[in-house]
Amino acid sequence: MMKCTQATQLLSERLDRNLTNSEKVNLGLHTAMCPACRQFGKQMLNLRDLSQRYVKASDASAQDK
Amino acid sequence: MTQALSRSNEQASSQLFQDTEFMEALRSQMLKFAILQVRNEALAEDAVQEAMLSAYQNIERFNRQAALKTWVFAILKNKLIDILRKEKRYTNVSLLEEGAGRSDEALLEDLFNEKGHWQKSERPKKWDEPDHDIENSHFWRTFDVCLEALPAKHSRYFMMREFLELETKEICENEEVSVSNLNTTLFRARLRLRECLEDNWFIGENTP
C-alpha cells in the first residue's frame, strides 16, 4: 500500500501532469482508505481555485477600507 | 454575467496599471528591500528595474494590487539571490532562499511519521467552504502572509504555475529546471501553503 508521503505528492502532481494508469489505481486505493489524504486532495484543488481568485478578484471587493 | 465579470476585470487591471501612486510606492518599497539585501544601490536599482518589467509584462493577469505585489517581490527576491551568488555572499542567499522557517526536510518530518503516514495531529482537516471567505479581506491577508513565508524558489514556481497559469513545460524551459524537480518543488510549496492556511485561518481564530 502506498504511503501518505507518496499519495500527497501525487495529489499535488496530478495538477501538473497526467498520472499514469498504475499511479491512478494506487492513488485511488490509497485515498479510498485514507480520509486525511482525501482531504488533502480536496485542499490541493481549493488552493488552485483560491490562487486564481486571489489574482483576479478586484481589490475593491477585497479591501477592508 | 460572465461578460460583465470579465469587463470589470479588464477595467480593474488597467486601473492598476494607471495607478502611478501605487506603482511608485511599490517601486520605492522594493528598492528599500533590495538595498537592504545587497547593500549596493546600483545593483539594487537594476534588480528592481527587472522585477518591475516583469510586473508590467504580466499586469493584465493581476486585478489585485496585493497579488501583483506578492508576485513582483517573488521575482525581486530571485534577482537578489542571483546577485548575492555572484558576490558569493552565501549567508544572505540562504536567508532569502530558505525563508525564515523550517526546511523542507524538517517540515516533512513534522507532518509524517517514520512509516510515511500522517501524524495524528497534522492530518488535514475539513476546510469550511473557502467560497464563503473570499469576500473577506482578512482571509486574503492571511493568504498574503502564507505566500510571503514560502522560500523564494517555492513561491516563484508556485506563482508561475498558479498565478500566471503557465504549463509545466514552459516553466521548465524558462527556469532551466527538470520536470521532476519542478513537480517536487510545487508539491512542497503547496504542502507549506496548505499547512499555513490551515493553521492560521481554517483552524485558528478566523473571526475578524
Three-state helix/strand/coil letters over chain B? CHHHHHHHHHHHHHHHHHCHHHHHHHHHHHHHHHHHHHCCHHHHHHHHHHHHHHHHHHHHHCCCHHHHHHHHHHHHHHHHHHHHHHCCCHHHHHHHHHCCCCCHHHHHHHHECCCCCECHHHCCCCCCCHHHHCCCHHHHHHHHHHHHCCCHHHHHHHHHHHCCCCCHHHHHHHHCCCHHHHHHHHHHHHHHHHHHHHHHHHCCCCCC
B169 touches chain A (CB under 8 A): no
Supply the pLDDT for residue B135: 62
Supply the pLDDT for residue A61: 45
Q: Does residue A63 register a pLDDT over 90? A: no
Q: Which of A33-37, B27-31, B158-162, B204-208 has the lowest mean pLDDT?
A: B204-208
State which of B74, B98, B122 marks the end of a domain. Answer: B98
Tell me: do B122 and B51 sit in the same domain: no
pLDDT in tens, B104-134: 889 999 999 999 999 999 999 988 765 665 5
Nearest to A4 among B117, B125, B179 (CB): B117
The CATH number of the domain holding residue B172 is: 1.10.10.10
pLDDT in tens, B11-60: 555 566 677 888 889 999 999 999 988 889 999 999 999 999 988 888 88
Tell me: do B108 and B65 sit in the same domain: no
Scanning every residue of chain A, which has its alpha carbon at the shortest distance from the alpha carbon of B167?
A: A16
Number of structural domains found in chain B: 2
Tell me: do B192 and B120 sit in the same domain: yes
B200 touches chain A (CB under 8 A): no
Tell me: do B207 and B108 sit in the same domain: yes
Scanning every residue of chain A, which has its alpha carbon at the shortest distance from the alpha carbon of B108?
A: A5
State which of B47, B70, B98 marks the end of a domain. Answer: B98
- Structural domain range at position B71: 1-98
Tell me: do B169 and B72 sit in the same domain: no
Q: What is the ipTM of this complex?
A: 0.90
Tell me: do B56 and B129 sit in the same domain: no
Tell me: do B64 and B107 sit in the same domain: no
Q: What is the mean pLDDT of residues B144-166?
A: 91
Tell me: do B55 and B90 sit in the same domain: yes
Tell me: do B105 and B208 sit in the same domain: yes
pLDDT-derived band at A58 (thresholds 50, 70, 90) equals low
Scanning every residue of chain A, which has its alpha carbon at the shortest distance from the alpha carbon of B136?
A: A62
Nearest to A63 among B117, B137, B191 (CB): B137
pLDDT in tens, A4-44: 999 999 999 999 999 999 999 999 999 999 999 999 999 99
Tell me: do B34 and B88 sit in the same domain: yes
Tell me: do B173 and B138 sit in the same domain: yes
- Sequence spans of domains, chain A: 4-52
Nearest to A55 among B163, B179, B184 (CB): B163
